[in-house]
Structures are given as C-alpha cells and as structure tokens.
Structure 1
Amino acid sequence: MRIVLLHPPHTAIGSRVPRENLPPFGLLCIGGPLIDAGHDVRLVNADLGPMPLRTIRREVLSHRPDAVLIGHSGSTSAHPTVLKIATALKAWHPDLTIVYGGVHPTYHWHQILSGTADIDVILRGEGEETVTALMGALEAGIDLAAIPGLAYRKDGLPHATPPAPMIRDLDAHRIGWELIDFTRHSYWGGKRAVIVQFSRGCPHLCTYCGQRGFWTRWRHRDPVRLAREIAWLVREKGVELINLADENPTSSRRAWKAFLEALIAEEVKVTIVGSTRADDIVRDADLLPLYKKAGCLRFLLGIEGTDEATLATVKKGGTRAKDREAIRLLRDNGMIGLCTFAVGFEEETDRDYWRLLRQLLAYDPDQVMSIYATPHRWTPFHGQSAHRRVIRTDLRLWDYKHQVIETPHVPAWRVFLWVKLIEATLQLRPRALWRAYLQPDRDMRHAQRWYTAMGRRVWLREITDAILKPARKGPTVADYWGAEQLPEEAMARTAPRIAAE
C-alpha cells in the first residue's frame, strides 16, 4: 500500500515559539515496521513551517496514498487541527482511508467516531504491531474485528476491538530514520537533534499525569543496542543532541547505568537532555559523573508543588528535601536542573503561591518552567476536578501552558500574575543571570542563554494569549468531558511486570 504518515501542525506554545523542530518520533516508530512490511511509506511533516491546510492537502495527495496515518505527541491540543485536515482530505479524496493515533484518540475513540465521518479507523495504544496488522488487513480486504487495538464503525456505530497487548521487546521494531531529512531538525539553539526513547511508561502514580496509563507498564530498550543506535546517528547523520522522550528513563538504576556505560564506550560526543525524578538523581549521586561523561546536560525535574500535603494528594511521591538535593547534585556535577512547577490545584490560595516562590528560591534551580494541572479524562485528576469549571474550552489551549480549569480561591488573572512573578523572580536573580551569561563552562552557558531566549518568547506569547484569549467561566469538567473517567490503561497487561531496580 501507498501510505502517508502525516504530522499535523501544532498551535501550542511549545511547538511555535522555539522556531526549531524535532522529528515526529511516534510516526517514525510506526514508519520503520511499515517499510519493513513492504509498504511504500512517505512522511509529511506539516509542523515544519507550519504548512497551511492547502499545502498539507497538496503534499499528502501528491503521493496518491491509499491510507493516511495522522498522529501527534500533543494529541489533545492538536485534535481540532487533525479534524480540519481529515475533513479537507476526505472532501478531495472520499475513498482515502484515514487512520488516527495518539493518546487523545486512544481514549476518546467513541466520541471521535460519533462526531465525524472523516476518521475511518483509530489506532489505540502502541502502534508498531497494530499498524502493520491493520494495513495488511486493509490491503487484503479482511475484516478488522480480529485485530486488537483498533476502533472503527461497525454497522454505522463506533466499535472497539479488545486492547492490544503491550510490546514486550522495544527493540523488535526499528525506527524509520530514513523518512526524515536530518538537516531540517534542530533543537537547543541550532544543534541537529532527534528524539529517542530509552523506556516507555512510569512506575509512579501521579494522579494528573496524562500518559502514565497509556504505556501500561514501565519497560526499557536494550541499553547496548540503544547506545549503538545513538552512536550511528551521531557518526552517520551528524546528530548533536538527543532529546529523551521518556517519562522516567532512570527508573531502573541497573539498566540506566548499563546504557551510560555503553554510550561512553562508543566514544561519540553528544548532548542528552530529558526528564526524570528528583528521587532518582539523589539515588544515583555516585553515578552522576557517569551521567556527565555520557553527555547528559539537563534534566527536567517535576516538583509539582512544594507543599507536602499537595504532593501527597497528587501521589507524586517526592519530598522537598529530595527536590532540593537533586538540584544541588546536578549542579555540582556540571548539569542543569530544570524545575517544573504545576499550579491549578483546587486548594491553592495566594498564600500558597507566595510560599511556592519562597521555596523555589531556597531550591535555587538553574531553570524553571510553569505548567497548569490539566484534567484529561483518562486520569484520576479528572474525577477529582469533575465539579470545577472549565475556563478555556478551546482544546487547542489544552497544552499545559494555559490554565484551563478554575482555581476556586484565586481568579485566573491573578494565578497568571503569580506564575509570571515566580518565573521572573527566579530567572532575574543575579546568580541566575551569571549562570546564563558569565559562567565559564561553554556548554552550560549556551544552554542557559538558549533557554533564556526561549523564555522571553514564551512570555510574549503567553501574555498575548492572556489578552486575546481570556479565561471565561464555562461548564464543569464533568459536563465538558463527561462525568465518568475513561479506563486509564490503554493496553492489555500481557507482559510480566518489570520492577524499577
């Protein structure tokens, strides 16, 4: 079959502000297996530019595809755009099969198939194995009922097959690197960059996490094979930076240490950035020189509030002492700690924001980033927030950078001002400015300057949105999404549980 993988343009701040573009890793993950199955596969990355709708239609249809597979990592905020693209493609080519995948369609398959006739099939959960079975069935004209992990219309009504089993061996399906032009993808201020995934899932139970149930279980790739693949990317494709897509790559100390040692043995110069937990940094205090030698430069640490009661409510599992110690340890070992702090929980008051500011100052992070708690319907946080009012109903703003539900004790405009005050205070301190502009380490200085430049542009975008797209009290979360929480786990638990060693 002739297949087009379509990465839709994304309106979110994180996609538009950086003026750089990382490859659509999820589509590359299904692209490799499709190519190996004998299909003619092309990638249209409409996020580059971004492409206007008429250009997307022209680029997609120029390949005369039998099927178009659409997916985006920011799938909730990209969903309205996906619907527009699907409608435009179907209007031009009614016989085209449109397949939609990602976190949002995995859970909202019934709503999507009920609301539009332009999406034919939804791929639920991990896609590498399901998509090859789906394309084979479509090519042979076989009934889809026997393929797990799908949703489609049966007798005119939405119908889902049983959840697909999660993939046991993450190295069983190769990434379709040949689908991209590496020269068009950069990050971190012009460094040629790609996304790579060491592991899938997270063993922790944060109630608000939008992906913790999507992967079902934490699993990791073979450390040596992944190190070899990264070395190939560096030597053959000129890649300078790896952005780890993992929620928690360091869950297994043993596996993560093996990966670091294997990458060091490859003797390639590469920068690695990613996310992890403060607990793991503290646990790995003796391994941090190994982190640095392998190329690790920055880790995003989600501290999600400095009040111990809040941490317990959202089941974060961290402590203020470990958060503070992780920041210090990273700095002492020549790495950057980017601390994200979440706001928008129901109990918050002005006093809480003031305490948050004081606590962050005590933490002394190198970089800070704010996010807003967002009640995705497949998370426990949805149920906890069901009675609260939605203040931004446009799904394009559900990107964690816009407050979308009310904070009962503080109006949205004042929450916004508190967040900006916290960010400004942290980033304009003399020691923060010194780290950005005067510190002697060249790589650290570049990273800090790049992040400072990003911060200025993000601020301008956020302020513009606050003025042009103001918060307005709307329906409750239950009325907006539906009162019932959707099943959290996206895939069947057929693989043995892998403990975080």
Structure 2
Amino acid sequence: MNIVIINPPHTAIGSRIPREHLPPLGLLSLGGPLLDDGFSVQLIDAELKPMSLSEIVDEAERLQADTIMIGHSGSSSVHATVLELCHQLKARSPELTIIYGGVHPTYYWDEILAECSEVDFIIRGEGEQTCLSLMQAIRDHSPLDQIKGIAYREEGEICATPDADLIRNLDDYRVGWELIDHKNYSYWGGKRAVVAQFSRGCPHLCNYCGQRGFWTVRRHRDPVKFAKELARLAREEGVELINFADELPTGSRKAWKTFLEALIAEDVSLLLVGSTRTSDIVRDEDILHLYKKAGVIRFLLGIESYDETTLANIQKGGSTSTDQRAIQLLRQHGILSMATYVIGFEEERDRDFLKSFRHLVHYDPDQVQLLYATPHRWTPFYETVENRRVIETDTRRWDYKHQVIATPGIPAWRVFCWFKLIEVMIQLRPKVLKRMFFHRDPDYRHAMRWYTRIGRRVWFHEVFEFLFKTRHHKGNLTLKQFLGTNFAEREYSMNTKKDAPETLVSLKN
C-alpha cells in the first residue's frame, strides 16, 4: 500500500514568509509508526512553495497514492481547503482512500462525513496508534469496528467507534524525520529548524483553549531520551533551532529540569523557543540559568488580558503580578519574552483598548503578539459568546489574526485600528529598540531584529488586506446560527474513564 501524507496549504500570512517554514510534526509523527510497520509512506508538504490544490493532486497521482492522509496544525481555518482538496483528489482518482485527522475533524466527525462524501475515514484524537491500526485493518481486511478512535460510513450510516486509548508512553512512537529534507525547513531568520514535542496536554482549565481537551491528560516524554533525539538532529541533520509544540513543556518542574540538564550534557548548540505559563517561569526562578544554558532564547507567555475579572471569566488561573514578574525574570537571564494578548473575550470599549496598551507598556515584554478571540465550538467559551454577531463568515480566516465576532458598540474598523496601533506602538518603544540594537547577547539581538522584520511584513500585509480585501458580514447572524450548538460535551477527545462506552455508535446519514 502506498500512503501519501498531505500537509495542505494555509491561507494565513504567517505561512507565506519565504524561507520561514517548519516541518509538519503531527504528520511526521504518523509516518514513523507506519514506516516501522513496513508501509510505503511519502509526504507532500504543500506549505513549502506553497502548492496549489491542482498541483497537490498532480503530485499525489505521480506518487501513485492509493491512500491519502490529510491533517494540518491550523485545523479549523484550513478545513474548507481540505474539503476542496478531497473533492479534487477523488474527482481525479475515485478509488483513493482518504483519511482525515486533526483537532477540527476530531470534533466535527459526524458533520464532515455527512457533508463530504469524499472523506472515507476520520481519526478522532491522537493518531499514531489509530492510524496504524486502521491501515493494518485495511491491508488485512480486518473488522473496522474493532479499531478505537475512528469514524466512517457503513452501509449508508455514519459510524463512530469508542474513543481511542490515551497514549501513556509517548516514547513508544517515533517521529518519521526521514520523510523530510531538513535543508528545506528554517525559522528564526534562516536557521535550520524543526518542531518537537516534549509533552502533550495541559492541566489548566482555560475555557477558550481548543487544544487542552484534544490531548485530554498531560504526559511527557522521557527527558533524557528526548534530549538525545534533539542532540542527534543537531549533529546529524544540522538543526539549529527547536520550536516546541507543547502547550506546557515546563508543566513538570522535575521532568523539565532533567531535560535541561540532559541537553546541556549533550553539549550541542541549539536554540529553543516555545510557549509556557508565567507561573512556571516564576516557579523556576532558581533554575532559569539552566534554561539559558540549554539554549532557551524565547518563551511565548499567554498574558491574554490585564483585567483580573476577565482572567477569572476565561479561567486563565493567572494574575497580572505573576505575568509581570515572569517577564522581568526572563529578561534578567537573557531570555526574550513574547506576550500574547487577546482582544474580544469581553465586549471592550475604547477605554479598554487604551488600558490594554498601558498595561502592556507596564509589563514591558520584548515582543508582543495580539490575537482575536476565536471561539471553538467544543470549548466552554463558545457558549458564553454564542449570541454575539458573526462578522467573518469565511472560516479560512478564523486563524486568530482576523476579527470574527463583533464587538457591540464599536465598528470593526475601529477595533482593527486599535489592534494595529497597539502592536506598532509596543514594538517601537525606545526600550525595545535599545535591546534590538545594543543588547550584549548577539542571539538576543538577532531574535529581536528577525521578529521586527517578520512583523513589519505581516503588519503591512494585514493593513492592506483589511483596507482592500476584507468585507465583513453586515447581517445579524449569530455565532450559534452560523456554526450550531455548543460541542462542550465532546471537549475531551479521548475517554479515560472506566465507564467509557464500548459499543459502536451509528448515525443515520
């Protein structure tokens, strides 16, 4: 069987920066177990050029694919593109078997199978074992209803098997690094780079997070084995930078400290970037020197809001004092802080945007990334905003960088002006410019300058797009009317309870 894994093209500007592409870790993670079981596996990374849909179809035909697997890290915003790609693939080769996985199809499995006849199977939840079991069953003509974590059609009915078992030991499944040519992937200003994952899941209860429930329970890899894998990538593949895909790589202080010490002992030159919580940075004040020695150059910190009431409403579990302290501690150790700040959790007024700017100045992060609140149907947050008006009906723009739900009382153009003004004013502060040009650490200066170059391109692109291409929906369409009722009962994609259902679920098509 010839399996072709496809990373479809995304429409976000972040995917369109020349020489700044990272490999699709999720798809490579599926490839490793399949290769080890003897399957023929090839990757089409349509993000690299990027490729048009017709070019992808041509390449799949050239590779003589009989099974197509599709997934993408930007799962919801790329979904419309995936459906069109599936249509074109089946139109060219009706005999193809198409398997679709990722966060979005995990929750929308029944709607997708009802609406898109070209999709044959959906993988729900983590895919390593489920994909392998499905391909083995197809190859061996074994019963499909014995495979946990899939959805498919059986004699005109949509069927879903019980939830997949949680992968307890993440080291049981390897990443198929041989599916890529490492020289094609770079980040951070041309540095050879990969995405890696030390842990999965997060114990915190942020009600807007679309990832937490997908991974269900936090687990981490063996710290020493993981350090050895990164060291091998540095020595044998010339990798210079590791971008962590984890929601919370620092979640276990003991495991994280062991990893840092193991990587330091490997004595390789690597830069590490990722995301974490400010509370973990404050917790680790006494070992931040290990962060720096191991190669940590930047952590993205989810500040989200300056308002304690908003933080409580979204169940962030943080505090403004902790946020500020974390930024200070990172700076003391020569590690950049990037503060993410979200607009749209509440129904802001102009004064709220001004307060947001003032508080960001007070926090004094090295870099800032503003995002729009983007409701996922399977999160508790969705229900709190389901009666707000939708102004963006093109789901390809539901990528956190476009406003999708209205702010009552403030037109979208004014929200956009605040958004872009705060971004540029934070990044052009004298303190930031001083660090960019005169910081004693060359890696620090490089990171500041690189982000400024990327940010400038994206900033002007987004302004141009808003002025000349954006057409917001003018009606009174609510979020609930547009997407449907809340999927909160599906939030946890893998059932870990003893009383989990053990029978096949069938829905009339």
Tell which deviates more after alignment, 77-86 or 457-466.
457-466
2: CA distance between counterparts of 1:170 and 1:230?
15
TM-score by length of 2: 0.96
Taking the aligned partners of 1:280 and 1:264, their CA distance within structure 2 comes to 20
Cα distance between partner residues in 2 of 1:417 and 1:423:
10
SS in 2 for 1:167: coil
2:492 maps to 489
Question: Corresponding residue for 1:63?
Answer: 63
Q: Deviations over 1:186-235 (max 9, x none)?
A: 00000000000000011111111111100000110000000000000000
Match of 2:311 in 1: 311
In 2, Cα distance between equivalents of 1:150 and 1:473:
39
CA distance in 2, matches of 1:464, 1:247: 32
Find the aligned partners of 1:403 and 1:377 in 2 and give their Cα distance. 16
Residues 125-150 of structure 1: per-residue CA shift (max 9 Å, x gap): 00000001000111122231111110
* Cα distance in 1 for residues equivalent to 2:390 and 2:142: 43
The structure 1 residue matched to 2:482, chosen from 475, 480, 483, is: 480
- How far off is 1:19 after superposition? 4.4
8 Å contact from structure 2 (residues 302, 341) kept in 1? yes
Amino acid aligned to 1:76: S
Give matches, 1:48-447, under 5 Å.
48-447=48-447
Which runs of 4 or more aligned residues in structure 1 lie more than 4 Å from their structure 2 counterparts after TM superposition? none
State the Cα distance separating 1:441 from its structure 2 match.
Answer: 1.4
SS at match of 1:132: helix
Q: CA deviation at 1:388?
A: 0.6
Counterpart Cα distance in 1 of 2:375 and 2:245? 22
Residues 475-500 of structure 1 deviation map (CA, whole Å, 9 limit, x = unaligned): 211111112324100012169xxxxx
Structure 2 unpaired stretches of 5+: 499-509
The 8 Å contact of residues 122 and 152 in structure 2, kept in 1 or not, is answered as yes
Aligned counterparts of 1:345 and 1:409: Cα–Cα separation in 2 = 15
> What is residue 505 of structure 2 aligned with on the other side?
none
TM-score by length of 1: 0.97
SS at the partner of 2:299? strand
Name the aligned partner's letter for residue 120 of structure 2: D
Task: Confirm or deny: 8 A CA contact 1:165 1:494 kept in the other structure.
Answer: no
1:98 match: secondary structure: strand
CA contact (8 A) 2:292 2:335 kept: yes
User: Is contact 2:19–2:186 with CA below 8 Å preserved after alignment?
Assistant: no
Q: Distance in 2 between matches of 1:188 and 1:362?
A: 27
Between stretches 180-189 and 150-159, larger displacement belongs to 150-159
Q: Deviations over 1:119-174 (max 9, x none)?
A: 11001100000001000111122231111110111222322111101100000011
What's the secondary structure of 2:324's corresponding residue? Answer: helix
Maintained 8 Å contact 1:346/1:408: no
**How many residue pairs get matched?**
495
Deviations 1:246-296 (Å, cap 9, x if unpaired)? 011111111100000000010101000000000100010011000000000
State the distance in 1 between where 2:158 and 2:338 align. 43
Residues 417-426 or 252-261, more deviating: 417-426
**Counterpart amino acid of 1:412?**
A
What are the ranges of 5 or more consecutive residues in structure 1 without an aligned counterpart? Answer: 496-501
User: 2:30 and 2:485 mapped to 1: Cα distance?
Assistant: 34
CA deviations 1:56-85 (Å, max 9, x no partner) are 111111121220000000011111111111
Q: Is the 8 A contact 2:248 2:275 kept in 1?
A: yes
Letter in 2 for 1:213: G
What is the DSSP-based 3-state SS (H/G/I as helix, E as strand, rest coil) of the residue aligned with 2:171?
coil
> What are the Cα deviations for residues 72-121 of structure 1, in whole angstroms up to 9, with x where unaligned?
00011111111111111101110100000000011011111111111110
Amino acid corresponding to residue 246 of structure 1 in structure 2 = D
Is the contact between residue 166 and residue 494 of structure 1 (CA under 8 Å) also seen in structure 2? no
Note if contact 2:202-2:251 (Cα within 8 Å) is conserved in structure 1. Answer: yes
Partners of 1:261 and 1:423 in 2: how far apart?
36
What amino acid does structure 1 have at the position aligned with 2:157?
L
Q: Matched residue of 1:168: which SS? A: coil
Tell whether the 8 Å contact from 1:198 to 1:220 is kept in structure 2 after alignment: yes
| 8 Å contact kept, 1:279–1:326 | yes
In structure 1, C-alpha distance between the alignment counterparts of 2:308 and 2:231, rounded to whole Å: 42
Partner of 2:23: 23
Q: Distance in 1 between matches of 2:486 and 2:326?
A: 38
Q: Is the 8 A contact 2:149 2:160 kept in 1?
A: yes
Aligned with 1:44: secondary structure? strand
Residue in 2 that maps onto 1:33: 33
Partner of 1:457: 457
State the 1:465 CA deviation.
2.3
Tell me the percent identity.
Answer: 58
What's the RMSD between the two structures over aligned residues? Answer: 1.2
2:19·2:185 contact (CA, 8 Å) conserved in 1?
Answer: no
The equivalent of 2:502 in structure 1 is none
SS at match of 2:246: coil
Map of 2:504 onto structure 1: none
Q: Distance in 1 between matches of 2:284 and 2:471?
A: 44
Cα drift, residue 371 of structure 1: 0.7
- The answer on whether the counterparts of 2:310 and 2:346 sit within 8 Å (CA) in structure 1 is no
3-state SS of 2:172 partner: coil
Distance 2:190 2:130 in 1: 36
| Matched residue type, 1:479 | Q
Structure 1 residue 323 displacement after superposition: 0.5
